[in-house]
Amino acid sequence: MSSLLPFLFLTLIPPLAQDPNRFDMGLFESPSKGETRSKGEYLIYHKGEGKPGKGYFKKHEPREIAEFHLFVPEAANPQGKSGKKSKRRRKISKKNKGTPKKIPMIIVYHGGKDGGSGKGLAKKMSQLSTKEHPLFVLSPNMYTVDSYKELIAEGKYPIDENMVFVMGFSSGGMGVLSAMKEGGKKDSGFRPRILASVSTTASYGRNPYPDAAYYVVAGERETAEFIKHPLLKTRRTTCRRHAIVMQQVIKDVSYVEVPGKGHSSGSPLHMALLQNLIRSIPVFEIDKGLGKVPEEFRALADLARAGRWEALAKARQEAAGAEKKSAQRRFHSFDRKLMLSLRKWLESEVEAIAKLNGKGSRLAVTRALNTEPFLPGLVKLFEGQKDLEKVKKALSHLESLPWWQRELEARKQYREIASSQPGESSKEALQKLRKEFKGTVFGDHRAQQMLLAYEL
């Protein structure tokens, strides 16, 4: 509670009229224009033992798994409902020598607590899934991650466990907090990449949190002027306070305000925002170079696709030490393809970042910045490999780009400000950062968003 005290002395600033210059409007432009919406199935996947109604969320039995709704994109079930492949599908399968492609998942928690089912939210959020970028949508009727664990344990669907995104609306923000706690546990297999609390009632709990980006989203019109409900009319202020406080306990926190919107989560602006956040996560494209991955090396390939270099290095060492020479030969054959694929991915990524030249789209630069933390670890992974110098050369090319170094410096200074005790000095530092690093993602746009949060 002591961390909140400085806010009691901040000057209250009245809400300003909607001004597009105050918002990062690029976040609300859908990146899926021209893409085809996914076909798929809507399933009540687990009916649960509890009965939805008054007190349902408070009285469920320990370890009880409530009903949950699931959208399964067509891409996850290429054989169709019958399980029989068409002639066309059989031809495609023969051409496709790679492993089945895993598909990201978004977990969404509905608001309103008692009486909700999550069915409507699952259908709404399925609009985020396109043919080019398919998504599973899981909407649990309880604020836990039990339903996600059940799906993973069953292993029926190609869910990419390294590309899981969690969103909760209103009281569903508590579901996001439960996901954060679960992901923060040691040896937890649950690794969310993005957590987003929309118009939330989330508390200021200080628990171990996963290494995920956390977005606090509020509507510009969640104020007393537009909402008379006693619990909702100050929701924007609640969200702003929550974002500023959580900066001190999570490395990457953003406050995003949706212009012209009130207490809602399914408007076109909200949908575009979520799509942009998901598309900002780096993808390690190595499947083409690997081809068909033998079952014994699937785990190695999955670690590489997730960018988990330390775990990959350990797994490679263990595989190389196999007792049988035949197993060693199989590993070395696969490992050569794996390391070559990683080097080529790095070189293509560096080339793509260099082409941005500081003038690329906000989404492209943000994605590049999200990729950067994975790059230094490749040097250690390639130690002792013949391609080590090529890896170093690629990274040194990035270091020679002035605009890129400016982006990194802006991010560094922004995070230093965010982790400091909040107050007037933080506001002044953010304003100074905006002037010095105008046009950068962190020095301009992220600082602009957080300055909105200081308008308490």
Share of the chain above pLDDT 70, in %: 83
Query: Is there a single domain that holds both residue 355 and residue 424?
Result: no
Residue scoring higher pLDDT (155 or 184): 155
Query: Is there a single domain that holds both residue 91 and residue 202?
Result: yes
Domain CATH number, residue 37? 3.40.50.1820
Residue type, 96: N
Query: Is there a single domain that holds both residue 313 and residue 185?
Result: no
Query: Is there a single domain that holds both residue 421 and residue 329?
Result: no
Which pLDDT score is estimated for 181? Answer: 80
Residue scoring higher pLDDT (237 or 101): 237
Residue ending a domain, choose from 279, 295, 327: 279
How many Cβ atoms from other residues are within 10 Å of residue 205's Cβ? 12
Which pLDDT score is estimated for 26? Answer: 86
Region of poorest pLDDT, from 88-102, 143-157, 282-296, 361-375: 88-102
Which pLDDT score is estimated for 48? Answer: 58
Query: Is there a single domain that holds both residue 374 and residue 323?
Result: yes
Which pLDDT score is estimated for 16? Answer: 37
Query: Is there a single domain that holds both residue 291 and residue 241?
Result: no
Query: Is there a single domain that holds both residue 251 and residue 367?
Result: no
CA distances from 90 to 43, 73, 87, 423 (A): 27, 20, 5, 63
Give 201's pLDDT tier (boundaries 50, 70, 90): confident
Joined tokens for residue 85: 């492949």
- Report how far residue 275's alpha carbon sits from residue 106's, in angstroms, rounded to the nearest whole number: 11
Residue scoring higher pLDDT (47 or 194): 194
Instruction: Please name the residues in contact with 416: beta carbons below 8 A apart, sequence gap of 6 or more.
Output: none
Query: Is there a single domain that holds both residue 80 and residue 9?
Result: yes
Give 96's pLDDT tier (boundaries 50, 70, 90): very low
Which pLDDT score is estimated for 135? Answer: 96
Query: Is there a single domain that holds both residue 336 and residue 358?
Result: yes
CB 447 within 8 A of CB 414: yes
Most confidently predicted of 188-192, 207-211, 332-336: 332-336
Give me the mean pLDDT over the 153-178 stretch.
89
Give me the mean pLDDT over the 129-155 stretch.
89
- Spatial strand order in the sheet of 136-140: 40-46, 68-73, 136-140, 103-109, 159-169, 192-198, 213-219, 253-258
Residue ending a domain, choose from 279, 305, 322: 279
Query: Is there a single domain that holds both residue 39 and residue 169?
Result: yes
Judged against a pLDDT cut of 80, whether residue 208 lies above it is answered with no
What is the number of domains present in the chain?
3
CB 366 within 8 A of CB 280: yes
For the stretch 349-368, pLDDT in tens is: 999 999 998 777 888 999 99
Which pLDDT score is estimated for 219? Answer: 93
Bridge pairing between strands 213-219 and 192-198: parallel
Query: Is there a single domain that holds both residue 114 and residue 175?
Result: yes
Residue ending a domain, choose from 251, 279, 307: 279
Query: Is there a single domain that holds both residue 194 and residue 313?
Result: no
CB 50 within 8 A of CB 58: no
Task: Domain of residue 219: give its range.
Answer: 2-279
Which pLDDT score is estimated for 82? Answer: 39
**Angle at the Cα of 279 from the Cα atoms of 407 and 235, rounded to 5 degrees:** 85
Which pLDDT score is estimated for 205? Answer: 60
pTM: 0.86
For the stretch 32-62, pLDDT in tens is: 988 999 999 988 876 655 555 555 554 556 5
Judged against a pLDDT cut of 70, whether residue 28 lies above it is answered with yes
